[in-house]
Amino acid sequence: MKLPSFLARQRRAAETKASGFFALTAEGRAHWSSRSYASLSREGFMKNPVAHRAVRMIAEAAASVPWLAYQGEAERPGDPLLSLLSRPNGRQAGADFLETLYGHLLLSGNAFVEGVRVGEALRELHLLRPDRMRIVEGRDGWAEAYEYRAGGHVRRHPAGEGQAILHLRLFHPLDDQLGFAPLEAASMALDLSNAAAIWNKALLDNSARPSGALVYQPKEGGNLTPDQYGRLKLELEEGYSGPARAGRPMLLEGGLDWKAMGLSPREMDFVEAKNGAARDIALAFGVPPMLIGIPGDATYANYQEANRAFWRLTVLPLVQRTAAAFAGWFSEGADDGLRLVPDLDQVSGLADERSELWARVGAAAFLTDEEKRRAVGY
């Protein structure tokens, strides 16, 4: 039965007077950071060393892979599109352009490329920040236009055949227009890792003192009055709660005694929890934890195997889908069969694997020279 409000207040006051024990507790509900592009960039890439290193490793590795152009089965080494990709605009070289593009994909799940044409020829490529782009949906649910806002100016680009905007996106199960960022899947681990670092720093700043409880033990009997109880609770919540105030020394008045109740970092298994969060972040990006230096991971037999898995399972799929998207965009409306493929022989991370392939194909006496060339990608 629910008591009237005045009876409930009297009951709480009586319980307070009858109690000589005051515990410092915090609200059990977790607080998570925003999932926007700006928030993920600040809390992840700009603050968390694991997320920063994972994004840099993937973006730099993928940007270092050279591309080959084919028309049908014939290679076109002097194709103008390869020249454009090597120098997409006056401010960026090809590697810088692709590294930024892959960074946008990893942090937002989307990348937008604007093509500048002179007549029918594509002359420049520019990257547009994902958080400034808005996709306008038509009545049929497909993209009708792209609106890019920079400062107080809004530029509108129509979607459809011959569009000036190339939109690359990672798979999103619940959105028809925008992609899903890998870092967003690791956002809980990211918050845990950052909160652990903040808590650890605050604890060190306050002499590494653990939290606990206050016990009221008056010499002549008696209990805290409701006003004293309320004032003490308010002081504890405002002065000693939260990660930034962890371990702050407390000034006790007469009759109050401090009883340590908080767990020490060792009791909390602090290091393993932090490493577990780091492994989850690396897992979301597809980077073997061994390559980032996270201890306790023995998935791969050695560093070389982990590096090969990183290239094969993470970097190359990203490069191949990007090359296919650019090839389709460049040749839109044409029937020339343009293909852009990564040059695997120039990938340092796959040098041993390619050497094994060459040796195996070269020793196959039952293959003709033409078949051997096709087997190694020529």
pLDDT tens digits, residue range 284-295?
999 998 888 887
User: Is residue 181 predicted with pLDDT exceeding 50?
Assistant: yes
- Percent of the chain at pLDDT > 90 equals 29
**In this predicted structure, what is the pLDDT of residue 178?**
92
Apex 219 CA angle, 217 and 225, nearest 5:
60
Which token pair is 104?
Answer: 């946008």
What is the chain's mean pLDDT, rounded?
A: 78
Residue listed under structure tokens 């982990």: 306
Q: What is the pLDDT of residues 2-16, one digit of tens each?
A: 444 444 444 454 444
Q: What is the pLDDT of residues 51-86, one digit of tens each?
A: 999 999 999 999 999 998 988 778 888 888 888 999
Ramachandran assignment for 355, one of left (phi > 0), alpha (psi -120 to 50 degrees), beta (any other): alpha
Q: What is the pLDDT of residues 79-126, one digit of tens each?
A: 888 889 999 998 999 899 999 999 999 999 999 999 888 777 788 999
Ramachandran assignment for 296, one of left (phi > 0), alpha (psi -120 to 50 degrees), beta (any other): left
Confidence of residue 260 (pLDDT cuts 50, 70, 90): low
Give the span between the Cα atoms of 187 and 32, in whole angstroms: 8
Q: Which long-range contacts (CB under 8 A, 24 or more apart) does 35-41 make?
A: 35/184, 35/187, 36/131, 37/107, 37/108, 37/130, 37/131, 37/181, 38/131, 40/107, 40/108, 40/181, 40/183, 40/184, 40/187, 40/190, 41/107
**In this predicted structure, what is the pLDDT of residue 335?**
63
Confidence of residue 265 (pLDDT cuts 50, 70, 90): low
Residue with the bigger pLDDT between 12 and 313: it is 313
CB 275 within 8 A of CB 267: no
Ramachandran assignment for 293, one of left (phi > 0), alpha (psi -120 to 50 degrees), beta (any other): left
User: Is residue 221 predicted with pLDDT exceeding 90?
Assistant: no
Helix, coil or strand: residue 238: helix
Assessment of whether the complete model's pTM goes beyond 0.85: no
**In this predicted structure, what is the pLDDT of residue 117?**
81
Mean pLDDT of 333-346: 78
Domain positions in the chain are 35-209+267-342, 344-378
Mean pLDDT of 335-351: 79
DSSP-H helix ranges across 28-79: 37-40, 49-63
Mean pLDDT of 250-269: 58
Confidence of residue 258 (pLDDT cuts 50, 70, 90): low
**In this predicted structure, what is the pLDDT of residue 27?**
47
Mean pLDDT of 192-198: 83
